[in-house]
Amino acid sequence: MSLMNTMIKTYKGNNLSQQKIKKLQHKRLKKIVDYARNNSTYFKDLYTGINGDFNLQDLPITNKIEMMKNFDSWITDTNINMNKIEKFTSDIENVGRMIDGKYLVFKTSGSTGNPAIVLYDKQNIDVASSVAAFRTFARKEDFNAFMKNGKRTAGVFANYGFYLACGMSRYLQLQMPRKKNKITIDVNASEEQIIKELNKFNPSMLSGYPSNLALLSNFEELTIKPDVVITGGELLTDEIRKKLTEKFNCYVQTHYSCTEVGEIACECSCGHLHINEDWVIVEPVDKNNNPVGYGVQSDKVLITNLSNYIQPFIRYELMDRIIVHNEKCKCGKKSCWLEIEGRTDDILEFENGVLIAPMSFYKILEEIKEIVRFQLIQKSYKKLELRIISDEKKVAFEKAKKRVTRIFKQ
């Protein structure tokens, strides 16, 4: 299926009635379940005893630990396996390139445990592009200003790994190498450097982690006038939203995404996160996986991605706590919307007054493959304690120490 085809489908899926959406979801679910059980030995076994006219709730729940443990049998292309992926991802030049010319490779951010490897097939990439094109902007006037100002986009993210934001951005740059309307600036560069690059590029859309953009906004030297600021990766608190709005004098919004699914929900002009129900099924559940109703806070969420056939995510557990609403939204969209309780990490503050967003440390420490889990605790204005779980503690700690020291020097 071509990009144009997916664009049209996504456009048509924009504002369907709840009844039509449910029908479309079920049709797409059946198709992906059939494909998974016919092409993945893991799903063939998992769905033994599930007959043709199943409901979503009949399907067993899946999770990251099982997925990573059974990676090679989980994915639906026998030409790809973990060994091959490890080789591919050991070369940083491959960020944004396709393995076997077919699939993009991403790593999840591992702040809640081990990172996962996620492959995107062409259809899933096209869905991501289509959703970005039609649903990213909460307000039409911001979209219009963005188009008028040459779609100049600057993202301040981790700019060196196989992360979704970085990989997708590089993929698009490689597709259109002559277009110079997109830059990614490494979140771990010095503030001076980040500000210099942002001022020089003068983006129409600025994106980044909320805590980090909040830190940058303290600098008078940062003089850009974006048309819109779109944050991601962490919870956008009301406080940070207000701060960024005052600094940049434009609309500040967020979205809800994860690597396994891509865009789960996009913000509307009322500030509500509307679920992309045509491509994603969201089930809020309690800790025993029983469904919770509309308006009730969940303990976690089960996610089904209806567009990725290479690596099926069907009733896949995410540890986010959300509330799904079915009340009509004033914006006119018919889809359900959600509220999310996101990561709310503290900003680290040091003796000399320097502030550092915790995301900088996540990204650095996640890159060290000897570290299984980590915890970073600020003991005082000049002391951080790093705790790690690792089979090679000494090697892991030395690497971590070296990289964290490098950030401090910057």
Contacts with Zn ion, residue ranges (CB under 5 A): 268, 270, 272, 329, 331, 333
CA distance 132 to 291: 29
* Least distance to Zn ion, CB of residue 267, Å: 8
* Least distance to Zn ion, CB of residue 15, Å: 11
Based on CB atoms, which residue is closest to Zn ion, 116 or 264?
A: 264
Based on CB atoms, which residue is closest to Zn ion, 100 or 327?
A: 327
Pairing label, strands 321-325, 337-341: antiparallel
Based on CB atoms, which residue is closest to Zn ion, 133 or 270?
A: 270
Sequence-separated contacts (24+) of 350-353 with Cβ below 8 Å: 350/381, 350/382, 351/381, 351/382
* Least distance to Zn ion, CB of residue 332, Å: 7
* Least distance to Zn ion, CB of residue 139, Å: 11
337, exposed or middle or buried, with CB in 10 Å at 0-12, 13-18, 19+? buried
* Least distance to Zn ion, CB of residue 221, Å: 37
Based on CB atoms, which residue is closest to Zn ion, 313 or 337?
A: 337
Q: Which two tokens stand for residue 49?
A: 């005893």
Based on CB atoms, which residue is closest to Zn ion, 331 or 372?
A: 331
Based on CB atoms, which residue is closest to Zn ion, 188 or 257?
A: 257
| Inter-residue contact 376 to 384 (CB < 8 Å) | yes
Pairing label, strands 182-186, 205-208: unpaired
* Least distance to Zn ion, CB of residue 338, Å: 11
Q: Which stretches within 159-231 are classed as H helix?
A: 164-175, 191-201, 210-216
> Alpha-carbon dihedral of residues 28, 34, 38, 39, nearest 10 degrees?
20
> Alpha-carbon dihedral of residues 292, 294, 299, 305, nearest 10 degrees?
90
